[in-house]
Structures are given as C-alpha cells and as structure tokens.
A and B are shown apart, each in its own frame.
Chain A
Amino acid sequence: MKKKLLSLLTSIIVVAFVLTSCGTKQTSNNSGTTSSSDKEGDEIKIGAVIPITGDISTFGKSTKNGIELAVEQVNSAGGINGKKIKLIVQDDENKPEQGVAVLQRLINNDKVVGVIGSVSSKVSIPMAAVATQNKIPLISGASTNPKFTSEKGNEYAFRACFIDPFQGTVIAKFATENLKAKTAAVLYDVGNDYTVGLAEYFKAAFEKSGGKVTAYESYNNGETDFSAQLTNIKKNPPDVIVLTDYYQNVGLIAKQARQLGLKSVFLGGDGWDSPDLVKIGGTAVEGGYFCNHYSKDDTSPEVVKFINDYKAKYNEVPDALAALGYDAANMMFEAIKKAGSTDGEKIAEALKKIDLKAVTGEIKLDENRNPIKPAVMLKIENGKQVFVGKVNP
C-alpha cells in the first residue's frame, strides 16, 4: 500500500516539476489604459526592461549603459519639448515571466509612456503583447526574432536591430562565399526562439546556395553536457559548425567540441558579442566568425562620436548591445519629439515614420516595423574582435 502511494506521489511530483520548469507564460489580466493625463510635471517617464543579472548579464549591462548615455545626452541638451527624461530600469533576469511582470509594474505603477527592452527574443515576444494591450510603445534594441514585431497583437513593438532571417542569410552567405564551406553542422537551444530562428534561417539559406547540412542538432535550455550531440556531429566532420546561442553556451560548446577533436570553423550570430565569450571559450573560439550589428572599427561620424562619448563616460569600448540600446533610446526620444505628445498611440505613429541616422546604420522601418540596414562580420583573433566586412541586405 505504502509503496503504491509512494509511486503515485513520485509520478505527481515528477510531472509537476517538469511542467513548472518548462516556463510559464504570464498573461496580463488588466486591459487598463494609461491616459496621457497622469503625467506629473515636467518629466517624461521611460521604462527599461533588461537582463541585468542572469545568463546574459553582460548584454544587459551594455544595453543599460547605452540607454543611460542617450538619456544623459538628451537631458543635458534640454530634454524633449522642455521636459526631462526620467529612466526607470527593471531587471528581467532573461526570464519571460519576470520580463512580463516588471513590464506590467512599469506600466501600471510607474505610468511610463514608453518602454525599451528586452534583449533576448524569448523575453521580448511575450512583452510585446502586454505593451500592445496597454498601448505603450515598446522598442527592443537587440531582439532579432521576427515574431516580436510580426505577430498579430504586437503592433506596439518596434526594434533597432535587423531580424534573424537576414542574420541567418548573412551567416550562410559568408560561409559559402568567403569560407568556401560545403558542409555545415548546426547546434541550437530548442527552448529559445532566437537560437531556433537563427538555426532555421541559416539552414534554409545554406542549402539554397548548394551547401549540405550534415547535422542539425539541438539541446535543452540549461544543459551543460553536449557530448552526445557533438559525437553525432563528429561522424561527418563539417567545414563549419554554426552555434546560434549566446556567448555562455557558445564558449562551453566550443570547448567541448575542441576536446572531442573537432577542427571545424565556428560561426554564429550577434549573441556571441561579449567579452565573456573569450573568457569562457578560451582558445576554442579562436578563429570563429560572427555576424553583428556594428563594428567599433567603423569610421562613420555617428560611430566615432558614439564611441568617444561612451568611452568618456564608462571608460570602455562599447559593444553592439550598447550601441543598440543607445539607438533604441534615441528612436524613442525622436518619436516623442516628432509626436509632440506623450500619448502612446501618437508615439507609435511617429515611430512608424522614423528616419534616424543611428550608430548601427540609418534606421527606417519596413511595414513590419523592422529596420532595413547592413550587418557586419567579425572574427575572433587573439581574443579580440576583428572587423572582416559589411554585408548589405
């Protein structure tokens, strides 16, 4: 009897744990509207939802620095229409449920007029629906998954970066044209919209240009042992291995792949852009290439000015996330200025017509509210990122 009870209990607990660890989606239950009347005095409140802690915290810190620099510059230039910007930053820990919760707090309690965030697509996508229900414009600096803006009910979502189909195509183009790769293996995280999207678009573009994908392998979120998948990839060692994840896992996978004796060139997307990549991956990531939004070696006046300002404030060279955070904030400010109002609907309308000379290229939005602009390819050499070239859409 007791044993039966134990087995029943065990199954229930296992099922419950598995269900909860899959991540719950929070739905907003308040369709409350924010009227433009409850703005106090001469402040415009802007929210920011970014992963300051968690597995991609260096992205969050860079984004935060970029946004804060933009806020400081706009305020020291007299603010927007005579009003100063007040920035309220919230941490989403790179978790969808946390992102939605803090976004609701920003909208309902802090009465922000617009929000910048988040970094990863898996957090931004559920946030977009909440922002749209509340008619608050949401601009993500770096969420590249198309769903963020293209899904129905996400009409108040905008972004400052290019999207994954473009990024995936750029990586495939680079692999076939510059690296003359004939075979490729792809390894991605099944639980992350960003890595799944990038993997799919790379595969489609690579096969279209005549390449062969020898292995298309995945892993679960939070896993640290990739030996089963890498053993499969090693059956037919490919010319390139595409790792579509963020730096944390890319470093880990690269190391394990080299330990197994795989010699292929690693390729990836903008998720690689962090100084921690080399810290974690060490020599394993040497010689890898990734696609990014901007290069610090670019000589356009916007980039040079941004790098100088950023260095003066933070004493370090900005990465792409900092540039995108800066651009996203400036998009918001420009739209508020153009709209001449802090009403969410009017800001969103102004955003659709934006034409901004930004650090990561000229930002004009297409009908899905995605910017059309070029990408850059970077190479990891001696632990540093080296500019390889620009790829146009």
Chain B
Amino acid sequence: MIFMQQLINGIALGSVYALIALGYTMVYGIVQLINFAHGDIYMIGAFAAYYAANMFNLSFVPTLLAAMVVCALLGMTIERLAYRPIRKAPKITALITAIGISLLLENLVRIIIGPNPKSFPGLLTSKMVTIGNLEIDSLKLVTLGVSIGLMILLTFIVHNTKVGKAMRAVSQDKDAARLMGIDIDRIISYTFGIGSALAAVGGVLVGVLYQRIDPLMGIMPGLKAFTAAVLGGIGVIPGAMAGGVLMGIAESLTKGFISTKFSDAIAFSILIIILLFRPSGLLGKKSSEKV
C-alpha cells in the first residue's frame, strides 16, 4: 500500500527527470555533446512561465507554450553562438564550453532577477484523486500525462517526419547526410530547439507542482536527468525515459524506506553499477564505433 504510494511519487518525480533527459539524449545522439547547460534551460523555462503567467495572466496551456518557445529560441541561440563555432574542435572543448554556458545562465538570472526564490502562480488547482486505496494529487497526474504525451509526440517526430528522419540520418553519419543534401546546421539547430522546449515543459510542470522556483533549481535535476540519460543509454530516446523514471523511483523509495541521507548516493550508485556492467547503458546498443 505505502509501497504503491511511494512508487507513484517516484514515477511523478521521474517523469520530470525523463523530460529533461530527453533533451540531453537528443543532443548527444546527434552531435555527441553533453549539453550541461540543459538543466539551466529548464530553470529558464520555469522563469519564463512565471513572467508569462504573471504579466499576461495566461492560463496553463498558453503559459506552457510561451515557455517552450522562449526556451526553444534560447537553445537554438546557444547552439549558434557557443557550440557551432567549435563543432570541429575536440569534444572536451565543447564539454567545457557547455559547463561555462551553464554557469553563465545561472548567474545572469541571479543578476537580472535576483537570487531570491519566487512563488510560482497556481495555474492549476490540485485535487486529490482516489483510486482504490491510493490517493494521488491531480497535479501529479497532469505531470505524468503531459510527460507521456510529449514523449509519444517526440517518438513520432523522430520516426515519422522529414525532420526526424534527417535527425536520425545526421546522427548516423554527418558526411553522408550532407552528401544526401541535408542541411546539417539546420537539423542540429532544430534538435537543440526541440530538446530545450522539452526542458521548458519540465520547468513549468515543476513550478506548478511545487510552486517555488529559483535560479539554481536546474543544477540537481539537470544532473539527475543527465544521469538518467546515461543510465538508459545516452543517445537512445526510450532509454532516457526509462532512465528518468528509474531514477525517480529509486529516489522516492530510498527516501521512503531507507533514509533521505542516502537518496542521492543510491541514485548515483545505480549509475556507476550499470556503467560497470553495461557501459552503453540499459537500452544502449553495443555498437562498434566507426573510426
């Protein structure tokens, strides 16, 4: 009983991690870059929603769309200005740049908006939904629903649309894709846009759910989502979802049955153990790399 309740808590938490993890995985799958600024884009999504909702009195769906647009543009701008010029440089250069962008975003927000936490507007009212003996917060169901919906949409985009097919082509072989007439820069830009928009959704959902946002809110979820992406096999979209939900459940169960003090330690230990035995992640393919 309690176990089921904790499981639900974990899945709700994990679905947010999964949303952020999707962005990490998509970007890695295509340009082999771990975009460490991704967690901060999630934070900016939450703040964009905060201002959109407060200034224009928007309801939930328009706020969500506004945050997605802001973050998609931001993600594409960052890619254009920071990552594209160093695309040919060694991977470590891009990684360090990403960490730099992450710190830049955090501190810019701290300077412009101030480091004080903000109280997120109550866009949706919470009700308790009773299913059998279980009680679930309606907001958690919304979080779960939105996350699953977006994951299905993303899978559809990647597999069935022209852009998605181009993305997969670029991820397999950039040069061959270029020879086939695919505009690689544009596809990479789209990838960052879509990934960032998903992070924004995560930010808005967390804002609605917990009603407190601050400039450093992206650090821990960003790190956990990154872990989730690696756990599931970085570059694999279903892996990111599985990894995110797994991380959420592990965290929730540890808090519920062992101790909060171990919750992060256990979550990250799972990562290390998986990497030891399955270096390519849970759903990652053991592919021989091309040289």
Which A residues form the contact surface with B (CB < 8 A)?
1-4, 6-7, 9-11, 14, 17-18, 21, 53-55, 57, 93, 190, 217-220, 222, 224-225, 227-229, 231-232, 235, 248, 252, 255-256, 259-261, 279-280
Option from B217, B223, B253, B260 in Cβ contact (under 8 Å) with A219: B260
CA distance A6 to B275 in the complex (A): 10
20 A-B interface contacts by CB (under 8 A): A3-B279, A6-B230, A11-B272, A14-B268, A18-B223, A21-B220, A54-B116, A57-B116, A220-B260, A220-B263, A224-B206, A227-B9, A228-B6, A228-B10, A231-B9, A232-B2, A232-B256, A256-B210, A259-B128, A279-B119
Option from A14, A21, A54 in Cβ contact (under 8 Å) with B219: A21
List which B244-291 residues lie within 8 A (CB) of chain A: 251-253, 255-256, 259-261, 263-264, 268, 271-272, 275, 279-280, 289
Contacts of A227 in B (CB 8 A): 9, 12, 137, 252
CA distance A218 to B6 in the complex (A): 16
Minimum CB distance partner of B13 in chain A: A225
**Cβ-defined contact, A53 with B115, below 8 A:** yes
Minimum CB distance partner of B5 in chain A: A231
Number of B interface residues at 8 Å Cβ cutoff, please give it.
48
Residue picked from A4, A6, A261, most chain B C-beta under 10 Å: A6
**Cβ-defined contact, B115 with A255, below 8 A:** no
Minimum CB distance partner of A54 in chain B: B115
CA distance A1 to B220 in the complex (A): 29
Residue picked from A2, A227, A256, most chain B C-beta under 10 Å: A227
- Counting from the closest, the 10 A-B pairs by CB-CB distance are A224-B210, A228-B255, A227-B9, A7-B275, A228-B256, A218-B260, A53-B115, A228-B252, A231-B5, A7-B279
In the assembled complex, B117 has its CB within 8 A of some CB on chain A = yes
CA distance A3 to B209 in the complex (A): 37
Minimum CB distance partner of B252 in chain A: A228
Q: How far is the CB of A200 from chain B (nearest CB, A)?
A: 15
**Cβ-defined contact, B260 with A11, below 8 A:** no
Minimum CB distance partner of B261 in chain A: A190
**Cβ-defined contact, A229 with B260, below 8 A:** yes
**Cβ-defined contact, B260 with A17, below 8 A:** no
Contacts of A280 in B (CB 8 A): 119, 211-212
Contacts of A4 in B (CB 8 A): 279
Contacts of A53 in B (CB 8 A): 114-116
Q: How far is the CB of A219 from chain B (nearest CB, A)?
A: 5
CA distance A232 to B2 in the complex (A): 8
Contacts of B261 in A (CB 8 A): 190, 218
Number of A-B contacts (CB under 8 A): 104
In the assembled complex, B135 has its CB within 8 A of some CB on chain A = yes
Contacts of B255 in A (CB 8 A): 219, 228-229
In the assembled complex, B35 has its CB within 8 A of some CB on chain A = no
Contacts of A3 in B (CB 8 A): 279-280, 289
Which B residues form the contact surface with A (CB < 8 A)?
2, 5-6, 9-10, 12-13, 95, 114-117, 119, 126, 128, 135, 137, 206, 209-212, 214, 216-217, 219-220, 223, 227, 230, 234, 251-253, 255-256, 259-261, 263-264, 268, 271-272, 275, 279-280, 289
CA distance A217 to B254 in the complex (A): 12
CA distance A14 to B226 in the complex (A): 9
CA distance A235 to B1 in the complex (A): 10
**Cβ-defined contact, B260 with A190, below 8 A:** yes
Minimum CB distance partner of B286 in chain A: A3
Contacts of A228 in B (CB 8 A): 6, 9-10, 251-253, 255-256
**Given A219-B260, A228-B253, A259-B128, 6 more pairs with CB closer than 8 A:** A3-B289, A7-B275, A10-B271, A17-B219, A53-B114, A231-B6
CA distance A232 to B217 in the complex (A): 25
CA distance A7 to B273 in the complex (A): 11
CA distance A231 to B12 in the complex (A): 14
CA distance A190 to B263 in the complex (A): 12
Contacts of B259 in A (CB 8 A): 218
**Cβ-defined contact, B264 with A220, below 8 A:** yes
Minimum CB distance partner of B216 in chain A: A222
Q: How far is the CB of B190 from chain A (nearest CB, A)?
A: 24
CA distance A222 to B128 in the complex (A): 25
Contacts of B219 in A (CB 8 A): 17, 21
CA distance A218 to B262 in the complex (A): 11
Q: How far is the CB of A145 from chain B (nearest CB, A)?
A: 19
**Cβ-defined contact, A18 with B13, below 8 A:** no
Residue picked from B9, B135, B255, most chain A C-beta under 10 Å: B255
**Cβ-defined contact, B280 with A231, below 8 A:** no
Contacts of A218 in B (CB 8 A): 259-261
CA distance A172 to B103 in the complex (A): 44
Contacts of A17 in B (CB 8 A): 219, 223
Q: How far is the CB of A313 from chain B (nearest CB, A)?
A: 23
Contacts of A9 in B (CB 8 A): 95
**Cβ-defined contact, B116 with A55, below 8 A:** yes
**Cβ-defined contact, A217 with B126, below 8 A:** no
Contacts of A252 in B (CB 8 A): 210-212
**Cβ-defined contact, A231 with B223, below 8 A:** no
CA distance A53 to B111 in the complex (A): 11
Known: A53-B115, A248-B212, A261-B128. A231 touches B263 (CB 8 A): no
Contacts of A279 in B (CB 8 A): 119
Q: How far is the CB of B270 from chain A (nearest CB, A)?
A: 11
Residue picked from B210, B261, B271, B280, most chain A C-beta under 10 Å: B210
CA distance A190 to B5 in the complex (A): 24
Contacts of B117 in A (CB 8 A): 55, 248
CA distance A4 to B281 in the complex (A): 11
Minimum CB distance partner of B10 in chain A: A228
